[in-house]
Amino acid sequence: MREEPNISYAEQIQHAFEFIQQKYDGPLDAGIILGTGLGQLIQNIEIQLEIPYEDIPFFPVSTVESHKGKLIIGILSGKMVVAMQGRFHYYEGYSMKEVTFPVRVMKLLGIQHLFVSNAAGGLNPDYGIGELMIINDHIDLFPENPLRGKNLDQFGVRFPDMSEPYDLSQISKALEIAGQQGLKVHQGVYAAVQGPNLETKAEYKYLRTIGADAIGMSTIPEVIVARHMELPVFAISAITDLCSPGNIKKVRIEEVLAAAAKAEPGMSLIIRELVKLI
């Protein structure tokens, strides 16, 4: 995020919002965050506007090779959406406020729902590579919280409730869509750590012991901020490597991207159909 003296975080959000609003001032129904290897959903969007992240005031810039770094506005399933083609991660060196900055901006742009995707390791022994997990709860293991510091009262309360971080009606609809389309999906608990290194075998065992079905390095910060603003959230993981006993092996990014590509058509279908129903 580019710094300027004497510009508060709230003012930075406002500047970014106004910059985008000058280019597109229409209604928006949903925001979509596309994770590692999961950017193909963009091909289903009738694009009306593309903005490179580096052009948006105070917007972070993605440093991960597999993340494109564009904000896309267009029509998906008959609804107006704004999609992040590439997200930001704590391990890139950004603060949690920087990681979640775009979610605040999307809220000001008028989105009513947030859809989040990610690539994750499968801790549950029932999961296979290329399968999908709808997130129904999470475990936050990051060392920093995006709500830390002075509360942004204009966005939400000081102590937001997180007993139902993921929209139950959207989960139910997604399971119905998957059943109708013959897609194999799981639902489970997503845990997130700061990364960027992958976990040790002992850490995988610990994560499974505390109740995680999948492990990643993203999503939870964006979800916390969305819920702070009372945005309903649907999140889904592509299982790109296996972290259960007997299945752990050294992982290369090329394998992760290949597994994400295998999962991507089903994930895109579910998100498209959910957007159609909002």
pLDDT in tens, the chain (278 residues): 555 557 899 999 999 999 999 999 889 999 999 886 667 788 889 999 999 999 999 998 766 554 468 999 999 999 999 999 888 999 999 999 999 999 999 999 999 999 999 999 999 999 999 999 999 999 999 999 999 999 999 999 999 999 999 999 999 999 999 999 999 999 999 999 998 999 999 999 999 999 999 999 999 999 999 999 999 999 999 999 888 777 777 877 787 788 888 888 899 999 999 999 99
Can you give the pLDDT at residue 51? 94
Q: Taking the alpha carbons of 49, 53, 58, 60 in that order, is the dihedral positive or negative?
A: positive
In a domain, 180, yes or no: yes
Partners of 47 in beta bridges: 74
* DSSP code of residue 139: E
In a domain, 85, yes or no: yes
In a domain, 65, yes or no: yes
In a domain, 3, yes or no: no
206 phi, psi to nearest 5 deg: -60, -45
Can you give the pLDDT at residue 87? 87
Can you give the pLDDT at residue 253? 78
In a domain, 18, yes or no: no
Residue 157 belongs to domain with CATH number: 3.40.50.1580
Q: Taking the alpha carbons of 201, 206, 209, 215 in that order, is the dihedral positive or negative?
A: negative
Please give the residue range of the domain that contains residue 39.
Answer: 24-277
| Angle (nearest 5°) at CA 200 between 199 and 206 | 85
Look up residue 227 and give its two tokens.
């819920």
In a domain, 17, yes or no: no
The answer to whether residues 79 and 29 touch, using CB atoms and an 8 Å cutoff, is: yes
- Give how many domains the chain has, as a whole number: 1
Look up residue 26 and give its two tokens.
């229409």
In a domain, 2, yes or no: no
Can you give the pLDDT at residue 236? 96
Cβ-proximal residues to 252 (8 Å cutoff; 6+ apart), any chain: none
The SS3 assignment for 177 reads helix
> Quick count: other Cβ atoms within 10 Å of Cβ 101?
24
